[in-house]
Amino acid sequence: MNPAPPVTAESIDHLCALADLPLSPGRRRALAPILAELVAAANELNRTMAHARYRGIVPVVRFPERAGGAA
pTM, rounded to two decimals: 0.60
Euclidean distance between CA atoms 39 and 19, whole angstroms: 19
CB-CB contact of 27 with 13 (8 Å): no
Quickly state the pLDDT bin for 55 (edges 50, 70, 90). confident
pLDDT tens for 11-52 read: 888 989 999 999 898 898 888 889 989 999 999 988 888 888
Q: Per-domain residue ranges for the chain?
A: 9-54
Distance between CA atoms of residues 60 and 48, nearest Å: 13
Looking at residue 1, what is its pLDDT?
Answer: 42
